[in-house]
Every structure is written in structure tokens, then in C-alpha cells.
Amino acid sequence: DVKVTQSSRYLVKRTGEKVFLECVQDMDHENMFWYRQDPGLGLRLIYFSYDVKMKEKGDIPEGYSVSREKKERFSLILESASTNQTSMYLCASSFRGNQPQHFGDGTRLSIL
Amino acid sequence: DAKTTQPPSMDCAEGRAANLPCNHSTISGNEYVYWYRQIHSQGPQYIIHGLKNNETNEMASLIITEDRKSSTLILPHATLRDTAVYYCIVVYFYGQNFVFGPGTRLSVLP
């Protein structure tokens, strides 16, 4: 089975802090994704990567950056955390473009 | 804009088949229909996907109408552990962006 592991289930940070969310997959998938999930808004794509060191903006990239130095690891960075970035963050991976995406269990991030 | 329409909630008796409908009337020929579910406090779980033929796996069956404008996810023998929010999404053949709408909240009742 595909395993997508997110480093933390719950995280509390303060406004202005630089926040790192880590995601690791163990299936040699080419594609990795970061979403945020908010009540009433569904899942929204922040960034995705289709190869090492490659990244593409999703629908809501503002305030975020990403890093993919190794195939199995995709990091989401909040450069200067703000309260409106309080959310559930979900990482996913897939083998190729139209193959199913497999999700981690999410990180519930609170910015105080 | 949402590409799919689903009822906000449904109930199903334990042991019965759960039939979850989805309308995707603007689907194009190179778009797949995917189904996921999300159990509280977990990430979305992939269930099944299809292009135009009906599909079956160990979790569920997917029935797509001939005109591809709607589909039904069937859980043949629902259990209490199938209580979740079910998402029907439409994905371009080479697409990367899985857009999840509000889904259907399925409650399996004892």
C-alpha cells in the first residue's frame, strides 16, 4: 500500500514565524501535492511538483513556498505565518498525471 | 466552479447497498470520474475511478451512464465504518489538480 506520511498531526505556531510542513512518500511517485482544506471550501491546491527540484503553482500559492530536493520528500513552507493560514494541510502523491492521488492524514495547523 | 453535483447527505442501513449519485453534466471526453472518501480526522482515501466503462474493485463499483453525464458509486454491503464524506471529482486525463467539492455525507445506521 502507498504510504504518505506527514511529519505532524497537530501544530501550533505564532504569527510571523517561518513554518515547515514535511511530507514523505514511499512509493517512488513522481508527483507530489500540497492542499489545504477549510470548512465550506473543500480542498484547494497550493503547489505541486512533478519531479525533483520542479514545482508548479496551484490555485492559492500566495504566502507559501515549496521545496523538493529528493523524490520522496516535499516540503511546504509558510514564509511568515498569518492567522488566515490556520487550516488542515494535506499532502498527496501520485505516480503520473492521471493516476490516483494518495493522501496523508493531514496536519492541523493553528496560527495564533 | 464545481464540475460535479452531489446530494449533501444520505443515510443507509447497515448491510444494505449504498448508492451515491453524482452529476457531472459538463464532463468532456478526456476527463475521468474519481471517487474518494474522507473519514473524520483522516486524509481522503481513494476508492475508484473510471472513464466510460463501469468499474469494480474490492471496495466499490462505479456505474457511469452512457452519456457520461452522471455516475453512481455503489458500496454493496455498507458497514458502520463506511460512514464518511464521499467526494466525486472530475479530472482531466493529464490533470494534476484534484478539485474537491463539499461531497456527500453518508451515515450508515445500525
Q: What is the pLDDT of residues B65-104, one digit of tens each?
A: 999 999 999 999 999 999 999 999 988 766 667 778 889 9
With an 8 Å Cβ cutoff, are A50 and B96 in contact?
yes
User: pLDDT for A54-95, tens place per residue?
Assistant: 999 998 999 999 999 999 999 999 999 999 999 999 999 998
Cα distances (angstroms) measured from residue A10 to each of A7, A42, A105, A107, B41? 9, 20, 11, 5, 11
B29 pLDDT higher than 80: yes
Question: How open is the CA angle B33-B34-B40, to the nearest 5 degrees?
Answer: 145
Cα distances (angstroms) measured from residue A44 to each of A60, B82, B107? 7, 24, 25
Q: What is the mean pLDDT of residues A5-13?
A: 94
In chain A, which residues have their Cβ closer than 8 Å to the Cβ of B34?
A: 100
Cα distances (angstroms) measured from residue A46 to each of A55, B24, B54? 11, 24, 32
Per-residue model confidence (pLDDT) at position A91: 96
A24 pLDDT higher than 70: yes
Whether the CB-CB separation of B24 and B16 falls below 8 Å is answered with no
Whether the CB-CB separation of B83 and B38 falls below 8 Å is answered with no
With an 8 Å Cβ cutoff, are A33 and B96 in contact?
yes
Write down the mean pLDDT value for chain A: 93
Residue of chain A nearest B40, judged by CA positions: A105
Picking from A54, A87, A98, A101 by the largest number of B CB atoms within 10 A of its own CB, the best residue to mutate is: A98
Sheet containing B104-109, strands listed edge to edge, beginning at the edge strand earlier in sequence: B9-13, B104-109, B84-92, B31-38, B45-50
B63-102 residues touching A, CB cutoff 8 A: 91-102
Cβ-proximal residues to A61 (8 Å cutoff; 6+ apart), any chain? A46, A47
Give residue B92's Cα distance to chain centre. 16
Taking alpha carbons only, the member of A88, A55, A102, A83 closest to residue B46 is A102
